Amino acid sequence: WTLAQVMEISADSWFTESDSLWPGQAFSLQIEKILYRGNSKFQDILVFKSKTHGNVLALDGIIQCTEKDEFAYQEMISHIPLFAHPSPKTVLIVGGGDGGVAREVAKHPEVEEIHLCEIDEKVIEVSKKYLPSVSVGFSSPKLTVHIEDGIKFMEKYSEKFDVIITDSSDPVGPAIPLYEKPYYELTNIALKPGGILCCLGDCLFTDLPFMEECTETLRSVFPVVGYSSTTVSTYACGQVGFLLAGKDKSVVLQKPVREATEAQVKEFGLRYYNFKVHCSSFVLPQFAQELNS
């Protein structure tokens, strides 16, 4: 996929996502209308209206979110670490330029302060225009946006955040350092005692060896580590996961310390996350057991 190829797409054509991370397979959505295409300083950005999934955001040819199924990702990457923490007052989001994670984090009354560090301001601009139901997160008075490199931003802080959520792209190109030990060490320093880190994991079916490597690296930095799974129809194989880590041995990831009541689920407008889903997301198939051993 290149920007030049996108410019040749007609109104009745298909967007096809293929990548070296999942060789030999591809995923396609039929395009109704191209809404935006362009280059930022960091990546190619495409937004199109699809026939079946509403508006779609793709970065460097990889789908980041669609209006139809984004909630399954945004809710899980946000609420699993937040409900696993007894009192998350200060939260850092690294990435998250579409605003969806900020939207979910802001729903927690316990959260007083949200910092979002996004390197690509153009992603925020495009998301605000074409993904209003997602980017509504930017309207929260709790939120402060920082346009800079997440690693450099993290270097400024020690024991500042209760929860850090790394809402990054897949582990290619500039996102690779966010899956490496120096980054995990920085997050450990930046977390308060009892703090929790939640990062984008990858698909069990296409990236299990890499996930095993990442969990092993996390265990060399954090005493508590786990892998949680969710289903997102427009991600590779329809499955994606999250790598979680607790700064202290006392942290329990698999069971919320604050249970979302039925009333709270309705108040938050949740469509995927609930108490049972939180717990069951850590139950993995036999071939992936080592991730949570």
User: What confidence tens digit (pLDDT) does each residue in 167-187 have?
Assistant: 987 776 667 888 899 999 999
Residue type, 99: G
Predicted local confidence at residue 12, as pLDDT: 62
User: What confidence tens digit (pLDDT) does each residue in 88-120 have?
Assistant: 999 999 999 999 999 999 999 999 999 999 999
pLDDT for 8 beyond 60: no
Tokens of 244: 């979680």
Mean pLDDT score of the chain: 93
- As a whole number, mean pLDDT of residues 19-36 equals 87
User: What confidence tens digit (pLDDT) does each residue in 45-89 have?
Assistant: 999 999 999 999 999 999 999 999 999 999 999 999 999 999 999
Predicted local confidence at residue 21, as pLDDT: 72
Predicted local confidence at residue 9, as pLDDT: 55
Alpha-carbon gap, residue 65 to 24, rounded angstroms: 22
How many angstroms separate the Cα of 126 from the Cα of each of 37, 47, 130? 10, 8, 6
Alpha-carbon gap, residue 44 to 203, rounded angstroms: 23
HEC assignment per residue over 114-134: EEEECCCHHHHHHHHHHCHHH
Instruction: Identify the three-state secondary structure at position 99.
Output: coil
The pLDDT confidence band at residue 4, using thresholds 50, 70 and 90, is: very low
pLDDT for 147 beyond 90: yes
The DSSP string of 19-69 is -TTSTT--EEEEEEEEEEEEE-SS-EEEEEEESSSSEEEEETTEEEEETTT
Q: Is 83 left (phi over 0), alpha (psi -120 to 50) or beta?
A: alpha
Residue type, 158: S
Predicted local confidence at residue 139, as pLDDT: 97
Alpha-carbon gap, residue 166 to 200, rounded angstroms: 6
For the chain, the distance separating the N- and C-terminal CA atoms, rounded to the nearest angstrom, is 38
Q: What is the pTM of this model?
A: 0.94
Alpha-carbon gap, residue 55 to 287, rounded angstroms: 35
In the annotation, is 170 catalytic? no
Alpha-carbon gap, residue 96 to 102, rounded angstroms: 7
pLDDT for 5 beyond 60: no
The pLDDT confidence band at residue 22, using thresholds 50, 70 and 90, is: confident
Predicted local confidence at residue 107, as pLDDT: 98
User: What confidence tens digit (pLDDT) does each residue in 237-276 have?
Assistant: 899 999 999 999 999 999 999 999 999 999 999 999 999 9
Catalytic residue among 60, 167, 170, 207: 167
User: What confidence tens digit (pLDDT) does each residue in 218-239 have?
Assistant: 999 999 999 999 999 999 889 9
